[in-house]
Amino acid sequence: MKSSSALRNGVITLFHSLNPNPNSYKTIPFRKFISINKSSLPSLPTSDPQKFRFFCSSMAQSGDSVYSSSSVEKQFEGFRSTLEDSGKLRERIKAVAGEIESAARFMHSGLLLVHQSRPVPEVLERAKGQIEVLKGLYSNLAEILKECPGQYYRFHGEWRSETQTAVSLIVLLHWLETGDLLMHKETEAKLGLGSSEFGLDIEDYLTGVCFMSNELPRYVVNQVTAGDYDCPRKVLNFLTELHAAFRMLNLRNDLLRRKFDGMKYDLRKVEEVYYDVKIRGLTANGDPGVPRIV
């Protein structure tokens, strides 16, 4: 504001110096002048400055105005402080989300050892340690969200992809341990969520499960290489069931839909490995085969 009024004064002085007789406007190429200074229109030197008030960029103090800009100002001041507060909250959430991401990354790198055919229980134990870390971080997040009840989905974007990754790892871990799919409620419980408003979004869970399926073809190949010829059949059974279950969902055209569409390629890769193993006669005697669901 200060600089613009200084500019205006400058312009006025210039105006005066160019035009010592303020009444002979004719001599000034006025419109051209204005077009250059569109943003800071000069006040005209005149005997009646009131008339020109509306040209000033600061007209807040005009007492005879129909509306009062001070009430406008007050409202916006309120907005600014509420928005600043939610901005601070978002920063805190972002910080925790960053920690969740790094914990998930640790867990992922730990779980990657299953591809190197390390003894599985040892690998799983190490990865499990990170679940506790994640649990702690999610409880931090839930604590922060308690400050703004009802606004889970306002900030959801900050932890969405991190959560999907975390879900995929936890579900994979559980599958490696038991061969079953960890369902939504169970996953939520593993993360220590669900008791308060802060829960695990079902779509995030489902997306995480799709991510988990992406990991399986590679796992199958590596297991076969390491000599576990029964693995492809087990994985194929599981993926076939999972794919059939996903086909029950009416999805929208969003990320989840695209991830689900990708699942059939995982299924196909695993089928190919199973086929290779079977045709080479590497399967164990009495292979019960794969139930055809689809």
Partner 1 sequence: MFLNSSSPFKRLFLMASKPQHLHPIAEASVLTSTKKPRTMTTVSAMKDGFANYTDYLNQFNDKRERVVKASRDITINSKKVIFQVHRISKSNREEVLEKAEKDLAAVTSQYISRLVKELQGTDFWRLRRAYSPGVQEYIEAATLYKFCKSGTLLDLAEINATLLPLSDPSLEPLQINVLDYLLGLADLTGELMRLAMGRISEGELEYAENICRFVRDIYRELTLVIPHMDENSEMKKKMDVMLQSVVKIETACFGVHPLIYKISLRRRA
Which residues sit at the interface with partner 1, rule CB under 8 A?
25-26, 30-31, 34, 38, 41, 44, 46, 51, 54-55, 57, 59-60, 62, 65-69, 71-73, 75-76, 79-80, 82-84, 86-87, 90, 150-154, 156, 179-181, 183-184, 197, 202-203, 206, 237, 241-242, 244-252, 291-294
Residue 56 buriedness (CB in 10 A; 0-12 / 13-18 / 19+): middle
Give the total residue count for the chain.
294
Q: What is the 3-state secondary structure (H, E, C) of 245-285?
A: HHCCCCCCCCHHHHHHHHHHHHHHHHHHHHHHHHHCCCCCC
**Cα 2 from chain centroid (whole Å):** 41
Backbone angles phi, psi at 67, to 5 degrees: -115, 160
Q: How far is CA 156 from CA 141, 165, 189, in A?
A: 11, 14, 19
- How many other β-carbons are positioned within 10 Å of the β-carbon of residue 118? 14
Closest approach, Cβ 144 to partner 1, in A, equals 15
* Closest distance of CB 76 from partner 1, Å: 4
Q: Which of 147, 153, 39, 29 is nearest to 85 (CA)?
A: 147
Q: Closest CB to partner 1 among 38 and 280?
A: 38
Which CB, 150 or 281, lies closer to partner 1? 150
Q: Which helix (H) or strand (E) holds 35?
A: helix 30-36
Q: Is the Cβ of residue 10 or residue 289 nearer to partner 1 in the bound state? A: 289
Taking the complex as a whole, the smallest distance from the CB of residue 184 to partner 1 amounts, in Å, to 7
Nearer to partner 1, 124 or 209 (CB): 209
State how far the alpha carbon of 246 is from the alpha carbons of 68, 137, 154, 237, 249, in Å.
59, 30, 28, 14, 6
Question: Smallest distance, Å, CB 57 to partner 1?
Answer: 7
We find the least distance from the C-beta atom of residue 68 to partner 1, in angstroms, to be: 8
Q: For residue 281, is it left (φ>0), alpha (ψ between -120 and 50) or beta?
A: left
Nearer to partner 1, 17 or 253 (CB): 253
Q: Which is nearer to partner 1, 77 or 276 (CB)?
A: 77
Q: Which is nearer to partner 1, 20 or 150 (CB)?
A: 150
| Nearest approach, Cβ of residue 40 and partner 1 (Å) | 11
Q: How far is the CB of 289 from partner 1 (least distance, A)?
A: 10
